[in-house]
Amino acid sequence: MSFYRYAAYGSNLHPLRLAKRVSSARQIGVSVIPEFDMKFNKTSHVDGTAKCGICVGRRGVHVAIFEIATADKAVLDRIEGLGKGYNEYSFQDSRFGRCFTYVADPFAIDDSLKPTDWYKEIVLLGCRSNNFPSEHILAIESIDAIQDPDERRSREHWMLVEELRNFRA
């Protein structure tokens, strides 16, 4: 079977979260993209709140590397909003070879936005499940978040948060 290597850095970091979205996803390790920084500044094309984006920087972005079936890449592209605020970025990882991730379009960046509380918690759970460095986790914990005004969406995502918290690989 042919596959792509996907570097997740935001809400797809947790292996259960990504597996619920892309059934073929299989985590193969973790890495760092050294020439980028992660920020909560990408405007969601769904709800207008901040999602994670990466931009040129110096801190490095911690990522989880997954293999996904070639047939499932279009599914992930649609879920992530390829062409609707995200562009594909391909890079060579020293351990895992050719990988791809998504980089926010400059027109989709808004530093005044805040993530929803449930979105931030999903990102944190992914960071913890991958044993990312404490300074990375502390930086995310310090980000201000807002309560989702859509009660149904908020309820659904907090249920997902509980499922991720209880997941044992």
Q: What number is the average pLDDT over the span 131-155?
A: 97
For the stretch 23-35, pLDDT in tens is 999 999 999 999 9
Token representation of residue 43:
């405007």
pLDDT of residue 104: 93
CATH class label, 3-166? alpha beta
Q: Alpha-carbon distance 154 to 149, whole Å?
A: 8
For the stretch 6-64, pLDDT in tens is 999 999 999 999 999 999 999 999 999 999 999 999 999 889 999 999 998 888 999 99
| Domain boundaries along the sequence of the chain | 3-166
Q: Tokens 């050294």 label which residue?
A: 34
Helices H / strands E in the chain, number of each? 5, 7
Report which of 1, 57, 61 is spatially closest to residue 31, judged by C-alpha positions: 61
Q: Alpha-carbon distance 144 to 120, whole Å?
A: 9
Using DSSP, state whether 152 is helix, strand or coil. helix
What pTM did the predictor assign? 0.96
Instruction: Check whether 169 has a pLDDT greater than 90.
Output: no
Q: What number is the average pLDDT over the span 135-152?
A: 96
Q: What number is the average pLDDT over the span 95-122?
A: 97
Q: Alpha-carbon distance 156 to 64, whole Å?
A: 24
Strand-pairing partners, residue 68, are: 4
Q: Tokens 């193969």 label which residue?
A: 28
Instruction: Check whether 95 has a pLDDT greater than 80.
Output: yes
